[in-house]
Amino acid sequence: MQIVADMLYATEQSGQEGIKTTSLLTKANLSHSRLEKFISNLTGAGLVNKIEYDGKNVFVITPKGRQYLESYKKFSDLAGSFGLEI
């Protein structure tokens, strides 16, 4: 859940221009093969859109992805109030 949240947060911070694969690799601290698996899951779930532009992939968060991220933040805050780390 934390990795998904990190990826969505990085994507959200990039705005409408989206985030390129290399930047997402760095910000999410993942290997390329693990990133591909997560991206496949995120796009399949409708949390992120993959846009091919000029031969490169750019990722943009969807409204559903923003909703997931907001729910995750609330859950994380609630867990933290009980002394739990996620």
Q: Specify if 11 maps to a domain.
A: yes
Average pLDDT along the chain, 86 residues, taken 10 residues at a time: 93 93 93 95 97 91 97 94 89
Supply the pTM of this predicted model. 0.88
CA atoms of 4 and 6, how far apart (whole Å): 5
Number of domains in the chain: 1
Tell me whether residue 15 is in a domain.
yes
Is 86 a member of any domain? no
| Domain assignment of residue 18, yes or no | yes
The closest of 62, 7, 56, 60 to 29, measured between CA atoms, is: 7
25 falls within a domain: yes
Domain that holds residue 41: 2-81
Residue 12 C-alpha from the chain's centroid: 8
55 found inside a domain:
yes
Return the CATH number at 11: 1.10.10.10
Residues ≥6 apart with Cβ < 8 Å to 24? 7, 10, 11, 35, 39, 59
